[in-house]
Chain A
């Protein structure tokens, strides 16, 4: 029931956006300037190519020239919420006074100069947001199917998707969450499992050619780290706060120094979570893209073959990294929560 509903929603959403987009590309076909493509053929800017693949974009370009338009949603103090298809801003077009300057939507005046007084807040369904939605729907479909598997095979051996994911779920439960959070681990299991599979699925989706680099986006990793940060500080017990406010065994005159150190420590945890995931995934993408870029740079069969081998090997390494980083993020989140909710301990 839920699956069908979500599926219908997602499907109609993309069909709707796609149809809208088609209309506009057809309407504005005459305005296309082939300069862009000519330039691309003349010289190959590897840095720009890599950044283009790593960063977010309005609309989803699967391959060069094949672009799925996505809705742009803007909030400006003077006009309120506005929504239109990203295809309207393709090829440097101006729509409704907006232009896409390197994936930043800016207001321009009649003369075509950007208006510095207006700062549109961009809530667009970008490539990353679309990917985020797809991953969420995918996760819901997968795990409701697994749940159905448990209902259907009650008292029997697991089957299919259920048996594929059960060892992963039990590993997260028994090896990551249980030993690090302690006896009250069950309350945190849904969050930890969601976190792990969300990161894993998005890491793997990010490795798919043409897909978004979601977990390599600092906004996403920052948000995930903040969730853990908030849980840690909402659930923290007295012992955790006392450790920061009055570190045991520290003379009074040294305490202010410790407050600074402890505060940095508190902030370093989410920062390290944010940067670790972001840097690992983005770094991996940069390496793979660099190897692919070398092929285009040298345009030689020999180099191409050699680099292809290295690139393929790196892709396999990145699949490993996708699992490792999802595991580490979950493990560290569990450890942070575990130390925060620990009752008073004497080993100081």
Chain B
């Protein structure tokens, strides 16, 4: 029965020592330990959260970058295309202009040649007339050097002339 009857003395010391132990440990051990533990927990939590946020940010940056890159690529394609187009139009217009200029020059040249020709022909006509008159004069002089020739001509001319 002794086993089951609590002793007053031991209860007294148990209360005294346990309470002392509790307050000493609370002040000099648990406070610090529990604070350190919860601090570390918070630290780990915030570190994990930060890692998560950084990862999200990185992903966002990456997608932004890709977007920027694809935009740049589009822009580049557009610029190249425009450049090509303008080059083509430039070349075409230059060709057209060149052709037109060539045609103009040719037609001018033709006109000038025509004018020259006309002038030349006119001049030649005049020269030919003068020359033929001179030749005729010279011929006539030579032909009509004797009286007989003169008379035959006159008679020929008279016979030709029809008096109607």
Tally of A-B residue pairs with Cβ under 8 A? 114
A278–B20 CA distance with the chains assembled, in angstroms: 22
The answer, yes or no, to whether B133 is at the interface (CB within 8 Å) is: no
List residues of chain B with CB within 8 A of the CB of A186: 34
Q: Is the interface of A mostly helix, strand, loop or mixed?
A: helix
List residues of chain A with CB within 8 A of the CB of B43: 155
List residues of chain A with CB within 8 A of the CB of B9: 73, 121-124, 126, 129
Given known contacts A2-B28, A144-B28, A219 and B10 CB-to-CB distance under 8 angstroms: yes
List residues of chain A with CB within 8 A of the CB of B5: 218
The answer, yes or no, to whether A51 is at the interface (CB within 8 Å) is: yes
B13-A123 in contact (CB<8A): yes
The answer, yes or no, to whether B68 is at the interface (CB within 8 Å) is: no
A224-B17 in contact (CB<8A): no
Interface size on A, residues (CB 8 A): 48
The one of B3, B15, B25, B34 that contacts A194, using a Cβ cutoff of 8 Å: B25
B37-A170 in contact (CB<8A): yes
List residues of chain A with CB within 8 A of the CB of B20: 136
B30-A190 in contact (CB<8A): yes
B25-A223 in contact (CB<8A): no
A129–B20 CA distance with the chains assembled, in angstroms: 14
The answer, yes or no, to whether B145 is at the interface (CB within 8 Å) is: no
The answer, yes or no, to whether A287 is at the interface (CB within 8 Å) is: no
The answer, yes or no, to whether A227 is at the interface (CB within 8 Å) is: yes
A217–B17 CA distance with the chains assembled, in angstroms: 15
A224–B26 CA distance with the chains assembled, in angstroms: 17
Interface string of B1-42 (1 = CB under 8 A from A): 011111111111111011011101110111111101100000
A73–B4 CA distance with the chains assembled, in angstroms: 22
A122–B7 CA distance with the chains assembled, in angstroms: 8
CB distance from A290 to the nearest CB of B (A): 15
The answer, yes or no, to whether A76 is at the interface (CB within 8 Å) is: no
Within 8 A of A (CB), among B36-65: 36-37, 43
List residues of chain A with CB within 8 A of the CB of B10: 56, 126, 128-129, 217, 219-220
The one of A126, A128, A136, A218 that contacts B4, using a Cβ cutoff of 8 Å: A218
Given known contacts A140-B24, A140-B25, A132 and B30 CB-to-CB distance under 8 angstroms: no
B37-A173 in contact (CB<8A): yes
In chain A, what residue has the closest Cβ to B10? A219
B30-A189 in contact (CB<8A): yes
B3-A54 in contact (CB<8A): yes
List residues of chain B with CB within 8 A of the CB of A140: 21, 24-25, 28-29
A56-B32 in contact (CB<8A): no
A143-B30 in contact (CB<8A): yes
The one of B3, B4, B22 that contacts A51, using a Cβ cutoff of 8 Å: B3
The one of B8, B24, B29 that contacts A146, using a Cβ cutoff of 8 Å: B29
Q: Most chain-A Cβ atoms within 10 A of its Cβ — which of B20, B24, B28, B33? A: B33
Q: Most chain-A Cβ atoms within 10 A of its Cβ — which of B3, B11, B31? A: B3
B14-A189 in contact (CB<8A): no
The answer, yes or no, to whether A55 is at the interface (CB within 8 Å) is: yes
In chain B, what residue has the closest Cβ to A55? B2
A147–B32 CA distance with the chains assembled, in angstroms: 6
Interface string of A171-192 (1 = CB under 8 A from B): 0010000000000001001110
Interface string of A49-86 (1 = CB under 8 A from B): 00100111000000000000000010000000000000
List residues of chain A with CB within 8 A of the CB of B17: 129, 132-133, 136
List residues of chain B with CB within 8 A of the CB of A218: 3-6
The 6 residue pairs across chains A and B that have the minimum distance between CB atoms:
A143-B29, A219-B6, A150-B36, A219-B10, A147-B32, A190-B30
A–B pairs, 16, beta carbons within 8 Å: A2-B24, A55-B2, A55-B3, A56-B10, A126-B10, A129-B10, A129-B17, A140-B28, A150-B32, A150-B36, A169-B37, A173-B34, A190-B25, A193-B25, A193-B30, A194-B30
Hey, which bits of chain B sit against chain A, CB under 8 A? 2-15, 17-18, 20-22, 24-26, 28-34, 36-37, 43
